Structure 1
């Protein structure tokens, strides 16, 4: 690409240590990077020593806490003139890496619905109702799939049935 300048970057490692809050000490919201680094190293205690050593070798300032939440699948009220898309309706943990893709699918579907309204083929209420019905079906299917992978691999709480 014209004007694109690539420069060498030092190697780096990304490590996520995750699980339900009861698996970690209380007070992590106020913990320093060094304290979070220690918690991460201790969480890897049953792993080969090199795993903990890698975490301990990191820059303590690079450790930070992220809380992740997921939507609980639900039905939406009958739309009038406002609707939702993306994380506003079906937020999910990043275990599948599909949240942004689902949000773009929402945008495309909503765009087509609004195009029909602008062309006079449908009323706004009917277009939004059809959009929401389809979006809720595929969106919450992905939420459930991401939550199940999160439950299996990251100790995420399961979603209600």
Structure 2
């Protein structure tokens, strides 16, 4: 039945500023709907992000709301800190990890490498990619440490 996520939505204060911000991280503008809503493709014709202009963006952040994780390749993720900084979008601390490089959150049979950053309205954004976890590691660590532990470096 369910095949994937088609859309997600975030509140923003300034729709034009946010459209430019999200175009800057690689999303493709699709269209505006009236004056307060815009859609950008995350993956063309597959999934998009709706941005709603509102003065109600002061809601305190919680991981269950105001959060989007964009899947990227491992190679892309390895370049993400410098890529974000070059664009003026600064990675942030998350789960106790400083934003010096991506980090890994591992669970018994799977793992994900990721880096977090915020948009201009404090919405939490994440670049993430799945990793194989044949050693069934459960410890959180920086990606470079993960690669050493798994003999990939």
Pick 1 or 2: higher relative contact order, CA cutoff 8 A, min separation 6.
1
Taking structure 2 as the reference length, the TM-score comes to 0.21
Q: Which has the higher helix share?
A: 1
Normalised to the residue count of structure 1, the TM-score between the two structures is 0.20
Larger Rg: 1
